[in-house]
A and B are shown apart, each in its own frame.
Chain A
Amino acid sequence: MNGIHDLGGMHGLGAIRPEADEPVFHEDWERRVFGVFIASFAGGQFNVDEFRHAIERMDPAHYLESSYYEHWLTAVETLLVEKGVLTRAELEARRVKLAKGAV
């Protein structure tokens, strides 16, 4: 798929900027996304090819502006909704509830 993810050779993307002594995860939510992805994959919810394709289908601007693990989060949400495991309504309702501090 000749999408936004096909970055090889593209110009204008700037300096590489490696971080010294970079931690494996920068935020707690990143490590949770990692663990949830692996557990969902191991549980057979989707395969890795579907997962990559779901990332490749992201809105191009969102893809470039969002962080790596947000790509993963978006892909897992997309696949689980498309496969009928969760609904957007369920996810939204839970987010609202969590935002209010109730669980």
Chain B
Amino acid sequence: MSKHHHNRPLTEVELRVKALESLLTEKGLIDPAAVDEIIETYEHKVGPRNGAKVVARAWVDPDYKQRLLTEGTEAIAELGFSGIQGEDMVVVENTDRVHNLVVCTLCSCYPWPTLGLPPVWYKSAPYRARAVSDPRGVLQEFGVDLPPATEVRVWDSNAELRYLVLPKRPAGTEGMSEDQLASLVTRDSMIGVGLPRSPNA
């Protein structure tokens, strides 16, 4: 990333970060080029388009879907997505009767290889507090209104285990290619706070 020049005094937090990074660099403990590459990877290369491919594959291939639901880590790795913060994956399927919602109440555990880095709201106190105690209220805040008969399952991620929601395939998508299907899969639908897009929406 280009380092822009500051025309204003640095904030306290900015000074802390610069102090930390410059000292660690001088002591040879971190390499600034490696830090740049790490940033580039997670800012631009890893993201929810990965998870969307997993979902689209599951929608078109019943055998893959079965593997995904029983051996999530390995099935996701088949498509080339694995690595830190995705070492142990469980995929939970939305059906006509069940809607799944994922949270990390204690911090921000999130499946990086399939979804990238989590959004601020996922990591913040309101979502972490209410997803487990008022999931339907949370879903309404996101514009998702479920029939009362739908069971809502909330999965609290932990240090070892990460969850990915397999959304329901939208109606009217028969005959669509995997790429076209993947374009309907939103990041929010794989967390469970949204639904995939409908075709021609």
Contact = CB atoms under 8 A, between A and B. Distances in A.
A19 to B, nearest CB: 7
Contacts of A5: 106-107
Q: Which residue among B34, B125, B142 has the maximum number of chain A CB atoms within 10 Å of its CB?
A: B125
Given A28-B1, A34-B39, A36-B30, A9 B129 contact: yes
A34 B13 contact: no
A90 B21 CA distance: 12
A11 interface: yes
Contacts of B27: 85-86
Contacts of A35: 35-36, 38-39
Contacts, number: 156
Determine which residue in A17, A29, A39 has the highest number of CB atoms from chain B within 10 A of its CB, and name it.
Answer: A39
Given A34-B42, A73-B13, A77-B20, A14 B105 contact: no
A9 B133 contact: yes
B29 A7 contact: no
B24 A36 contact: yes
A19 B103 CA distance: 17
Contact of B13 (A29, A39, A80, A103): A29
Q: Do most interface residues of chain B lie in helix, strand or loop, or is the interface mixed?
A: helix
Interface residues of B, number: 56
B17 A32 contact: yes
Given A55-B107, A77-B16, A98-B15, A15 B43 contact: no
Interface string A5-36: 11111110111111100101111110111111
Interface residues of A, number: 54
Contacts of B128: 7-8
Interface string B84-118: 00000000000000000001011110000000110
A5 B38 CA distance: 27
A77 B128 CA distance: 25
A39 B105 contact: no
Interface string B118-136: 0111011111111111000
Given A34-B42, A77-B20, 7 more contacts: A7-B106, A9-B129, A16-B138, A26-B120, A27-B14, A32-B35, A94-B18
Interface of B: 1, 3-4, 9-11, 13-24, 27, 29-31, 34-36, 38-39, 42-43, 103, 105-108, 116-117, 119-121, 123-133, 138, 141-142, 156, 159, 193
